[in-house]
Structure 1
Amino acid sequence: MRDVLVPLDIDMALPPPGSVLRRAAGASMGTDWSVRLMLPEGVDGAALAQALQRELDEIVAQMSHWEPDSLLSRYNRAEAGSWHALPPQFYDVAKYALQVAEDTGWAYDPAGGALVNLWGFGPTGRYDQAGFYAPAPDAIEALMAKRAASRPVLDREGRRLLQPGGAVLDFSSVAKGYGVDRLACSLERHGVRHYVAEVGGELRGAGMKPNGEPWWVEIEGVPGAGKAGEQPVLALHGLAVATSGDYRRWFHHGLTRASHTLDPRSGQPVANELASVTVVADTCMAADALSTALTVMGPDEGRAFADERAIAARFLVRGRGALIETTTAAWRSLLQ
């Protein structure tokens, strides 16, 4: 019998009479997005779908490191000492990501783009393209020395960001989750209170289905390490969930597995045998960023950090022929 996780507080209100189950979907951030919702009477479903796509298009225009004209890309190219005014979306993400960086002792670094590029996980010179070679130790050392003096500075009162010179932002571990949150906010602005929103496998939900059931989702497992139906299921009711795993993008580096999750403290891919970390949180931005941070910190340091802050997290560690699961107290409090 598999685990079932249910939030501690549930609003049992059903969708308003006349609501119809609808689906909206599209493409953004190099992946797909979708929303299942109970559409109230009087709400234009087609116009709502267009509004949802605009929300994600704006995030791409601001935060994509693949688009050369995005605000993030322009910041990365800017001259040393320049200040950059931030629109609300960019400010929200930068503020939260830098706070997680400070809280984790920079095990999480939203300005780790140069390191990501060096290891072939950025938009150019990728690990899966011909001619790629893993970086030499002296190249990593030189980059680490440069990065130590090039951390961005956020002026919270002025809502602007300093480019100290050489800072390379990469919001790929937080922007997708933020995109899910923006979909949720847009739905609620249009009067939709019962929905589940998803971007690239990261989800947030609220309300109920017409039959009084919550939006049930299966927690992401590790491919090849277990059957569907064995993973826990979560009632996505006022909650968000995201998973970070070493199985998504990686290459063999000698005898080791070089994962796309890099430790900004060492300049190396994580090597702590963590296969995946799943975080359940109030916002998908938090679940997204924290799942990455805990992956870098590892099963022991990460679990201690999460327990101290009441973060609901599940760790799957690669053992001899099997995955070993450990969870935090906040995760276990959701179990039914």
Structure 2
Amino acid sequence: MKKIYFLCITVILFSCELDKNPSPQVYSGNALGTTFQIQFFHENELEIAKQIDSTFTVLNQSLSTYIPTSDISKINHGDSTIVVDQQFVTNFNTSKQIFEITDGYFDPSVGILVNAYGFGPVKYNIQMNDKNIDSLMTFVGFDKVIMDANNHVIKKHPKTFLDFNSIAKGFAVDRLAALLDQLQVEDYLVEVGGELVASGKNLANNSSWRVGIDKPSSNETDQRELLQFIVQLENRAMATSGNYRKFKTDSLGNKFVHTINPKTGKSEASDILSATVFTKNCMTADAYATAFMAMGFDKTIDLIPKLEDIDVILIHAKGQEVETYISDNLADFIID
């Protein structure tokens, strides 16, 4: 999660009388180091900017590694007296479950490696060779971190650095969706940094919400212009992870992709180019999309049948070819 000192929320409110073709009320802006947009339909104009601001502020204070005074930053720097809030507890407990289910391929304790490769808030001036990676791996392992009955986080190794970036963005989507549910909004689409949850319909055209899945490409111009699929999203969450554009280059010219394998500590190219996960909530979709990138295609395909209410679109490399795996349950929701 990125450091945010303030939220820039652009509010565009449309008159929304539920006629034949109503226009959505739209809130959009910047938060968590990315952009967000909320579209919804309601018979009344709803002023929810303050609630949106509050949602992101609470999340930042709890989980942002880019804010030195956040709870997670204090914990990462060795403060064991912090009593974490419910936001933290939910992300921690869900992460524990997915860590165990994926046999450690989803691991928020990988933060020290995220920093070492140059993707995190703390910069290390070291070469990422086998010796240094092995040394850093001493502090990796979510099984070495527990939460006691009083909501204190206890780390076996003080240098273990927690980073919930791969689940918290999805959690933010879920919190915003919960806000709309509390306001009895039935038709909405919430998006934060490309992670989404949809409810009801897009009443502007009386159809399901439609969202695009990018075609993997290393060319950013092409990436913005080309979509692999358009998907009808109905009362479900969706999250996508990919490593084809996120990379760093060190002083020796070595390129490191954004996906880090928690098992090896290495920034590795996956045969999965893009993993899109559909399930009941966005934080779960977000976490599994990250895990599948690290697991690779074969391990992911083996795990999916064991998971409840998880469907996927996996764009993956097979030799020199690029192929797509689509869960059977999604066939009727794909628009060519």
Using structure 1 for the length normalisation, give the TM-score.
0.83
Q: CA RMSD in A?
A: 2.7
1:246 matched to which residue of 2? 243
2:50 matched to which residue of 1? 50
Q: Residue 146 and residue 183 in structure 1: after superposition, are their counterparts in 2 closer, same or farther (change >3 A)?
A: closer
Indicate the SS of the match to 2:170: helix
Q: Residue 144 and residue 25 in structure 1: after superposition, are their counterparts in 2 closer, same or farther (change >3 A)?
A: same
1:213 to 192, 204, 207: 207
Amino acid at match of 1:219: I
Structure 1 residue 325, shift from structure 2 partner: 1.2
Q: Residue 332 and residue 175 in structure 1: after superposition, are their counterparts in 2 closer, same or farther (change >3 A)?
A: same
Please tell me whether the aligned partners of residues 59 and 172 of structure 2 are also in contact (alpha carbons under 8 angstroms).
yes
Q: Separation in 2 of the partners of 1:35 and 1:148?
A: 36
1:172 aligns with 2:165: yes
Q: What does residue range 50-69 of structure 1 map to in structure 2 within 5 Å?
A: 50-69=50-69
1:11 matched to which residue of 2? none
2:5 matched to which residue of 1? none
Q: Separation in 2 of the partners of 1:16 and 1:289?
A: 38
Structure 1 residue 238, shift from structure 2 partner: 1.0
Q: Separation in 2 of the partners of 1:291 and 1:237?
A: 19
Deviates more, 1:63-72 or 1:164-173: 164-173
Q: Residue 234 and residue 221 in structure 1: after superposition, are their counterparts in 2 closer, same or farther (change >3 A)?
A: same
1:233 aligns with 2:230: yes
Q: Separation in 2 of the partners of 1:242 and 1:299?
A: 17
Structure 1 residue 68, shift from structure 2 partner: 0.6
Structure 1 residue 60, shift from structure 2 partner: 1.0
Structure 1 residue 227, shift from structure 2 partner: 8.8
Q: Residue 74 and residue 234 in structure 1: after superposition, are their counterparts in 2 closer, same or farther (change >3 A)?
A: same
Q: Separation in 1 of the partners of 2:315 and 2:120?
A: 26
1:29 matched to which residue of 2? 32
- Size of the alignment, in residue pairs? 311
Please tell me whether the aligned partners of residues 214 and 223 of structure 2 are also in contact (alpha carbons under 8 angstroms).
no
* CA deviation string 1:87-110 (max 9, x = no partner): 111111111011111111111101
Q: Separation in 2 of the partners of 1:85 and 1:222?
A: 42
1:186 matched to which residue of 2? 179
Amino acid at match of 1:39: H
Indicate the SS of the match to 1:269: coil
Q: Separation in 1 of the partners of 2:332 and 2:254?
A: 36
1:196 matched to which residue of 2? 189
Please tell me whether the aligned partners of residues 26 and 53 of structure 1 are also in contact (alpha carbons under 8 angstroms).
no
Q: Residue 237 and residue 150 in structure 1: after superposition, are their counterparts in 2 closer, same or farther (change >3 A)?
A: closer
Deviates more, 1:116-125 or 1:258-267: 116-125
Please tell me whether the aligned partners of residues 20 and 39 of structure 1 are also in contact (alpha carbons under 8 angstroms).
no
2:11 matched to which residue of 1? none
Q: Separation in 2 of the partners of 1:332 and 1:106?
A: 30
Deviates more, 1:191-200 or 1:137-146: 137-146
Q: Separation in 2 of the partners of 1:186 and 1:316?
A: 33
Gaps of 5+ in 1: 1-14, 127-131
Gaps of 5+ in 2: 1-15
Structure 1 residue 197, shift from structure 2 partner: 0.6
**Percent identity between the two aligned chains:** 27
1:78 matched to which residue of 2? 78
Q: Separation in 1 of the partners of 2:180 and 2:224?
A: 34
1:270 to 243, 268, 271: 268
Indicate the SS of the match to 1:147: coil
Indicate the SS of the match to 1:318: strand
Q: Separation in 2 of the partners of 1:326 and 1:298?
A: 13
Please tell me whether the aligned partners of residues 306 and 328 of structure 1 are also in contact (alpha carbons under 8 angstroms).
no
Q: Which has the higher contact order (CA 8 A, sep 6+)?
A: 1
Q: Separation in 2 of the partners of 1:191 and 1:174?
A: 26
Structure 1 residue 265, shift from structure 2 partner: 0.7
Q: Separation in 2 of the partners of 1:185 and 1:275?
A: 31
* CA deviation string 1:271-294 (max 9, x = no partner): 333211111111110111000001
Using structure 2 for the length normalisation, give the TM-score.
0.83
Please tell me whether the aligned partners of residues 314 and 327 of structure 1 are also in contact (alpha carbons under 8 angstroms).
yes
Q: Separation in 1 of the partners of 2:77 and 2:192?
A: 28
